[in-house]
Chains A and B, each alone.
Chain A
Amino acid sequence: MASNVFDVLNNRACRGLALGALALMLGTGVAQASTLEVSNARLSLLPGNTPGAGYFELANSGEETVTLVGAESPAFESVEMHVSSEHEGMAHMHAIESLDIAPGERIEFAPKGHHLMFMRRIEALSEGDKAEVVLEFSDEQRLPVTFDVVSPASL
């Protein structure tokens, strides 16, 4: 439903205003640019200073492929895109530089697959808090997303 609202407001002049309004309407865990929609944004975090994992869904309703190239957050010193995999009984994890999302495609960052790895906390965060994150794309587009800080037990 939210995407329909936004399609109507496709005028560039309206975009900033509409984004603000949408942010208010939709609350956290959701962000939207003209053709990109993020939902279910969660940051899995444990007490202490161990790294967190970011999970979300990202849908591209535009007509161009977009390329996610990274993320940053004022709450962490560094954020990397990673993918976990299992091969011959071993759990592997490696960084990825970019991820293409084709027109009409919906990708999922989910446990034991793609995730954002949040390292070295700058702000103290715990379950129930919100964390501001900006997703970065190759066309310089930057998409702000508010992640809900959750326990891995909730996933």
Chain B
Amino acid sequence: MYKLLFAGLASFVLAGCSDQSWRTTDIGDIMPPLDFTLTNEEGETVHGEDYRGKATLVYFGYTFCPDVCPITLSRLGDTIRDLDDETRDNIQVLFISVDPSRDTPEVLKRYTDAFGPEFIGLSGEQAEIDAVTNRYRIAYEYGEENENGDYLVTHSSAVFAFDREGQAQFLMRDSHPVSDAEADIKRLASQGG
């Protein structure tokens, strides 16, 4: 009886101390590894496996977004700049545009350069974008064009995190305390591989 209780307690404690307990939302068991076929800022076709070897944060947005996207990316940039040099070399941010008609490789390059060398812009054919958004169970939707041809895009607000092997780790939302998001990013980037 005692033995059973102890075993239960021990496994509970171990689970609580496991390397996989993130302060933000753990998605290790529910999201697939990083995989996609998209186009990079040089106009080259790239795949998810090309980005293995570093901790990877993924955010889906569009450059015509004046508020939420630049603020989200800037805050990730702030966290990354707080890392020591060695750890900073172990993390990258993929900004996947769901608005390929406006977000050409040139536009994406200029945009992501503003946030730091760790930021990489990707987009692709609509079918390729749909494949990656479906894979991570998120949606996006184009608004109506105004008289200037401008339109807004509703998109996922989450940041997905993958380890250097491309395994899904955690998901961050605005509702998570900034300190939790920062702690998880630092821990992910510091993990050996």
Q: Does B174 lie at the interface of the complex (its beta carbon under 8 Å from any beta carbon of A)?
A: yes
Cβ-defined contact, A112 with B156, below 8 A = no
Chain A residues with CB under 8 A of B150? 119
Number of A-B contacts (CB under 8 A): 88
Q: Does B107 lie at the interface of the complex (its beta carbon under 8 Å from any beta carbon of A)?
A: yes
One of A50, A77, A86, A153 near B74 (C-beta < 8 A): A153
Stretch at the interface among B32-40, B61-69, B182-190: B61-69
Q: Nearest 5 CB-CB pairs, A to B?
A: A152-B70, A91-B157, A53-B66, A51-B66, A152-B74
Closest residue of A by beta carbon distance from B73: A152
Chain B residues with CB under 8 A of A20? none
Q: Does B10 lie at the interface of the complex (its beta carbon under 8 Å from any beta carbon of A)?
A: no
Cβ-defined contact, A50 with B174, below 8 A = no
Contact with A along B114-134 (1 / 0, CB 8 A): 110000000000000000000
How big is the A interface, by class?
20 to 34
Chain A residues with CB under 8 A of B9? none
Chain A residues with CB under 8 A of B110? 47-48
Closest residue of A by beta carbon distance from B78: A153
Cβ-defined contact, A82 with B157, below 8 A = no
Q: Does B100 lie at the interface of the complex (its beta carbon under 8 Å from any beta carbon of A)?
A: no
Q: List 22 A-B contacts (CB under 8 A).
A: A47-B113, A48-B107, A48-B114, A50-B63, A50-B111, A52-B66, A53-B67, A84-B68, A86-B157, A89-B157, A89-B158, A89-B173, A91-B61, A91-B68, A91-B156, A93-B152, A94-B152, A112-B67, A112-B71, A119-B150, A152-B70, A152-B73
Q: Does A92 lie at the interface of the complex (its beta carbon under 8 Å from any beta carbon of B)?
A: yes
Cβ-defined contact, A115 with B77, below 8 A = no
Please report A residues at the B interface, Cβ cutoff 8 Å: 44, 46-48, 50-53, 77-78, 82, 84, 86, 89-94, 111-112, 115, 117-120, 151-153, 155
Closest residue of B by beta carbon distance from A153: B74
**B:75-131 near A, CB below 8 Å:** 77-78, 107, 110-111, 113-115
